[in-house]
Structure formats: C-alpha cells, structure tokens
C-alpha cells in the first residue's frame, strides 16, 4: 500500500471521527444536557462530511468500487457477445470519468478561490477549507486513475 493510499485512508478515518464527534456533541448539546443548539458543531460536522465524501470517493475509485459500473461490466462479461466489448466499454467509462473529474477539478479550484475571503458564520474559519475538499478529492481520483493506464487496468 503506497504512501498516498495510506494518507487518504487515515485522512478519511480522521474526518469520519471528526464527523461523528461533532454530530454527537451537537446531539448532546441539543437534547440531553444544555437544550440548545451550538451552530459551530453542526457546521464542522458538515465540513467533515464533505471531506469524507470526496476522499472516500477517491478510495472507491482506487478499489474500483463503483457499484453500478461493476454490475454492468460483470453482466457484460457473462455474455458471449458483449464479453469482447467489455475492455472497450471499461476504457470508455474511465475516459468519461476523467473528463468529468477534470471539469470538477477546475470548477472546484475556482470556487475555493472565490470564497477565500469569506468566513463561516459560526466557526469563523475560512470557507476555502471546506471547499478545498473538492479539488483534493478529484486530484486523488485522478491520481488513482493513472494506475489504470500505467499498470494495465490492474490496481
């Protein structure tokens, strides 16, 4: 397991722990102890969930864990006619995903730059930090797709 893969796994795990911690803290504050809502815990939980989603999607890309594509390709492999086209369909899917990821990366960088001076209402952190999950996650997905072409479709 490479350094990038380990870093991504640890980051997703840490973000998930942060998501759980701040969500639990919000529930305790709202319903059990204080009977009021602390907006900053809800805000931070939301930001951690964005990182879990985008970096988790990168890990899913690395493991070829997209369920619908896997189901379609395995069904194609079982057919005598479609089995010959499966490698081409798989390569076409990867190329389309890369095109979409490049578009998402460009727009993610643009929006992270646009919100540079803006701060979150409750936690007062720069809004660039939550929005950086978009380009970071897409770069990770593109990084894992390079293995598809370099190593001959085997990850």
**pTM (2 decimals)?**
0.79
Which pLDDT score is estimated for 155?
Answer: 44
Q: What residue segments make up the domains of the chain, in order of their start? A: 3-150
Of 25-34, 60-69, 117-126, where does the model show the most confidence?
117-126
Locate 97 and state its tokens.
Answer: 């995903």
Higher pLDDT, 80 or 19: 19
Quote the DSSP letter at residue 28: I
Name which of 107, 101, 106, 114 is nearest 141 in CA terms.
101
pLDDT higher than 50, residue 7: yes
Taking residues 46-68, report their average pLDDT.
86
β-bridge mates for residue 119, sequence order: 126
Angle between helices 133-150 and 39-62 (to 10 degrees): 10
Taking residues 31-47, report their average pLDDT.
81
């Amino acid at each position: 397991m490479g350094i990038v893969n380990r870093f991504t796994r640890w980051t997703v795990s840490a973000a998930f722990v942060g998501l759980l911690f701040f969500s639990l803290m919000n529930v305790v504050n709202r319903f059990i102890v204080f009977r009021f809502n602390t907006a900053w815990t809800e805000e931070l939980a939301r930001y951690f969930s964005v990182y879990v989603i985008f970096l988790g999607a990168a890990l899913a890309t690395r493991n070829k864990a997209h369920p619908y594509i896997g189901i379609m390709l395995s069904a194609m492999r079982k057919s005598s006619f479609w089995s010959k086209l499966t490698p081409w369909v798989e390569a076409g899917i990867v190329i389309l995903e890369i095109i979409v990821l490049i578009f998402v990366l460009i727009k993610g960088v643009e929006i992270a730059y646009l919100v540079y001076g803006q701060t979150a209402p409750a936690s007062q952190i720069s809004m660039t930090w939550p929005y950086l999950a978009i380009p970071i996650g897409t770069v990770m997905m593109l990084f894992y797709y390079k293995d598809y072409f370099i190593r001959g479709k085997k990850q």
